[in-house]
Chains A and B, each alone.
Chain A
Amino acid sequence: MSESFRIGTGAGFSSDRLEPAIDLVERGGLNVIVLECLGERTVAFAHRDRMANPKRGYNAHLERRMRALLPACHSAGTMMITNMGAANPRAAAERTLAVARDLDLSGLKIACIEGDDVSTLVPKDQAFMDEPGTLADIDMPIVGMNAYLGADAIRPALEAGADIIIGGRLADPSMFLAPIAQHFGWANDDAPRLGAGTLVGHLLECGMQVTGGYFADPGIKEVPNMAQCGYPIAEVAADGTAVITKLDRTGGCVTPATVKEQLLYEVHDPARYLTPDVTADFSRVEVAAMGPDRVKISKASGSARPATLKVTVGFDGGFQGEAGVSYAGPAAQQRGQLAADIVRERMARLNGRGDLRIDLIGVSSLFATAGLRSTDAQDVRLHVTLRSCEKEDAELMLWEVESLLCCGPAGGGGFRGAIVPCVMTKSVLIPRERVNATLEMMVA
């Protein structure tokens, strides 16, 4: 059997943990580590950051991650691929270059991939991808538009011998597929193999969600040593089959159950999972335990890639205020309900401006619309949310909730309140030939 290609995850979302990533690079013997740090809304928030400061708009943890991982990757001979560039890949690459020079990593090759920003390429009245209407129907300012770039946008940087590849809206599984396909020499139209590589990417892109994270349910689904949970590794074979595993002496677990939960995570039709690279088919995937924390995946396939690329359009969504007060002990639920009624009445002076929601945490919050409530809760929290394009409306709501401390029901305490900016996103499609990914190599 020929040698497998070892690829691992060093972040599965923008704020994912750093220490296990360092451990994985130091001990994993990896060819490549991928840091996947973007969601649809993360890009929109990053655009807001960039508008406030043209030198920003990339992942807030980029510098800390690079300071820790660049030397480790350099020592281990592991290359890194990341979409931490978010709304400003160039600034992220320049920042990384400065970190590399500061660490005396001279000669380090940092590839910056751009071209995902398609804000000048999408018509103002472009129809939405999956709902009626067009961009022109939204009366909020657009903050950015980014096309999902696939493996074909990443492979030139691999061919050019990059040590670090930084992009913006690089599609999550494509960051894994690109180095696998490049290593084994798969063509960009070899759909069955690209489908197999996409499955590897799909399983790894959310980091520890496949190694026991987001899985534990005490008494039924026990996960050992979760505090020290390790990131995943895939040992990929030339035929696209792979073993999902993790480092020894890390917490978490890799079992058929953890792999299956991730297999269909955010997938609709398992036979048609669309990415920029392929229409992947996960419907016949086999999942087999091979030993402790080793699970083999096989029989993923695929057919031709879509003719269009998905574009996320981000809008400035105004502000959201959240505030709460807690009640405990006898009749806590009734006192919390009274507080809710008082706030609703006092907020009526906004005359319906903004969207208001009031929950009683402990009685009914997450499942309120589903129609489920507890009775006789002894420890409840009034939780009020208001979203408006006017920040003043959110400020008024926070004030009204705080004033319950003196002119609300008996025994309320623990007021907290905060106002955060909001974004809204919509999806549209763009013909792929209209998008041109570009590559610039920076050498430390």
Chain B
Amino acid sequence: MTTLRRNAPRIVRDIAHARAGDKGNTSNINVWAYDPDDFALLKRTLTPERIKRAFPQLILGKVARYEMPHLCGLNLVLHDALEGGVNRSLNLDSHGKSWSYLILGMALEGDERAPPNGAQDN
């Protein structure tokens, strides 16, 4: 599917869609590029290192990434990243269902000036 864009893409949500799920204290987020031409940019953007660096207080374990190149998809597995998981977390969203939008709010690689997820604490 090709989408017409009025502005250049800046965050992951501009080129991809995603869904998050949980198993214990591990979050998995599947992310799919709308346009095959954007898959390379998506892969450069969502490296395990870059994801872990973006949320160091949240993601305490390793980040694994599985690729589904024929469907332009990535499966991100964030270990120890749910504040203890649904059994322990006091987060309103104790399943981390909203974590998909943490990823979709990240700045695309090469566009580091874009504020990830809106305003930043400072």
Q: Which residues of A contact B (CB under 8 A)?
A: 41, 130-131, 214-215, 217, 220-221, 257, 260-271, 283-287, 317, 355-357, 359, 361, 364-375, 383, 385, 387, 423-425, 427
Residue in B24, B34, B117 whose Cβ sees the most chain A Cβ within 10 Å:
B24
Whether A365 and B118, one on each chain, are in contact in the complex, defined by CB atoms closer than 8 angstroms, is no
Question: Can you give 13 A-B contacts (C-beta < 8 A)?
Answer: A261-B30, A266-B21, A267-B75, A268-B75, A270-B68, A357-B90, A368-B91, A369-B58, A371-B120, A372-B118, A375-B119, A383-B92, A385-B90
Q: How far is the CA of A265 from the CA of B86 in the complex (A)?
A: 17
**B83 lies within 8 A of A264 (CB):** no
Interface contact A366-B22, CB-CB below 8 Å: no
Q: Is B113 part of the contact surface with A, judged by Cβ < 8 Å? A: no
B71 at the binding interface (Cβ < 8 Å): yes
Residue of A nearest to B87 (CB): A424
Q: Given that A263-B30, A264-B28, A359-B92 are contacting pairs, would A370 and B57 also be in contact in the complex, using a CB cutoff of 8 Å?
A: yes
> Is the pair A366, B58 in contact by a Cβ cutoff of 8 Å?
no
B7 to chain A, nearest CB (A): 13
| Cross-chain contact of A369 among B1, B17, B83 (Cβ < 8 A) | B83
A217–B17 touching, CB < 8 Å: yes
* With A266-B28, A369-B57: A41-B86 Cβ-Cβ less than 8 Å: yes
Give the interface centre of A261, A270, A317 by most chain B CB atoms within 10 Å: A261
Chain B, 83-122, contact with A by CB distance < 8 Å: what is the 0/1 string? 1001110111100001000100100000000000111110
B residues near A373, Cβ cutoff 8 Å? 119-121
Most chain B CB neighbours (cut-off 10 Å) among A214, A257, A367: A367
| Contact in complex: B87, A317 (CB < 8 Å) | yes
Q: For chain B residues 1-53, which have a beta carbon within 8 Å of chain A?
A: 1, 13, 17-19, 21-24, 26, 28, 30, 32, 34
Cβ-defined contact, A268 with B17, below 8 A: no
For the A-B complex with A221-B17, A372-B120 known, give 18 more contacts whose Cβ atoms are closer than 8 Å. Answer: A257-B34, A260-B73, A262-B19, A264-B19, A267-B21, A268-B26, A268-B28, A355-B90, A359-B92, A366-B91, A370-B57, A371-B57, A372-B105, A372-B117, A373-B120, A385-B90, A385-B92, A424-B87
A260:B30 contact, CB within 8 angstroms: yes
What residues of chain B have their CB less than 8 Å away from a CB belonging to chain A?
1, 13, 17-19, 21-24, 26, 28, 30, 32, 34, 55, 57-58, 64, 66, 68, 70-71, 73, 75, 77, 83, 86-88, 90-93, 98, 102, 105, 117-121
**Closest A residue, CB atoms, query B19:** A261
A214 to B17, CA, bound (A): 12
Q: Which of B34, B58, B75 contacts A264 (CB 8 A)?
A: B75
Shortest distance from the beta carbon of B122 to any chain A beta carbon, whole Å: 9
The answer to whether B32 and A260 touch across the interface, beta carbons within 8 angstroms, is: yes
Residues of A within 8 A of B55 (CB): 370-371
Contacting residue for B17 out of A261, A285, A375, CB 8 A? A261
Interchain CB contact under 8 A, A370 and B102: yes
With a cutoff of 8 Å between Cβ atoms, the chain A residues found around residue B32 in the complex are 257, 260-261
- In the complex, the answer to whether B26 meets A372 with C-beta atoms within 8 Å is no
9 closest A-B pairs by CB: A266-B21, A357-B90, A264-B30, A261-B19, A370-B58, A385-B90, A373-B121, A424-B87, A366-B93
A283 and B91 contacting across the interface, CB-CB below 8 Å: no
Most A CB atoms within 10 A — which of B28, B55, B68?
Answer: B68
Contact residues in A for B120 (Cβ distance below 8 Å): 371-373
Known: A261-B30, A268-B77. A374 touches B66 (CB 8 A): no
- The docked-state distance in angstroms from the alpha carbon of A213 to that of B74 is 21
A48 to chain B, nearest CB (A): 14
- A257–B17 contact, CB under 8 A? yes
- Contacts A220-B17, A371-B55 known; A266 to B118 CB distance under 8 Å? no
Q: Nearest chain A CB to B94's CB is how many angstroms away?
A: 10
Q: How far is A427 from B88 in the complex, measured between Cα atoms in Å?
A: 15
A264-B30, A268-B23, A372-B117 in contact; A367/B98 too (CB < 8 A)? yes
Q: How far is the CB of B61 from chain A (nearest CB, A)?
A: 11
Residues of chain A within 8 A of B64, CB atoms compared: 268
Residues of chain B with a CB closer than 8 A to A383's CB: 92
Nearest-neighbour CB distance to chain A for B108, whole angstroms, equals: 15
Query: Who on chain B is nearest to A209 by CB?
Result: B19
Q: Given A260-B30, A260-B32, A265-B30, A130 and B24 touching (CB < 8 A)?
A: yes
In the assembled complex, which residues on chain A have CB atoms less than 8 Å from the CB atom of B21?
265-267
A77 CB, min distance to chain B CBs, angstroms: 35
Distance in Å from the Cβ of A354 to the closest Cβ of chain B? 10
Query: When chains A and B are docked, how far (Å) is the Cα of A372 from the Cα of B26?
Result: 20
